[in-house]
Amino acid sequence: MTVFSSDLSRARITAEGVCRAQVLPSGEIPLQPILTGNLREKDYGSMEGRFWKTSPPLPRPQDWVTPESKASMRKRVENFFDEHLLP
């Protein structure tokens, strides 16, 4: 069994808990998740963590951080498949 996880702390902590919960035959090495940035959620730039109804006003356009594009996110997923699942 292999456990993969985003390298973000909340995902890592959950993956480590999943690994600890596995019952392994005696003598086997306990599972450790394989952490990768390729499994991070989409980056929403300046809009990250905002709530539509309760957020303060949007930053000025010149201060915006551009969200991650669909192409960039797709490339990360393809990299994950190429590096971990297809070999």
Q: What is the pLDDT of residue 79?
A: 96
Q: Which is nearest to 68 in space by CA: 60, 59, 76?
A: 76
Q: What is the pLDDT of residue 48?
A: 76
Q: Which is nearest to 33 in space by CA: 51, 58, 59, 6?
A: 6
Q: What is the pLDDT of residue 82?
A: 96
> What averages of pLDDT result for each successive group of 10 residues across the chain (87 residues)?
94 96 88 96 78 67 77 94 92
Radius of gyration of the chain (CA): 18
Q: What is the pLDDT of residue 11?
A: 97
Q: What is the pLDDT of residue 22?
A: 92
Full-model pTM = 0.74
Q: What is the pLDDT of residue 58?
A: 67
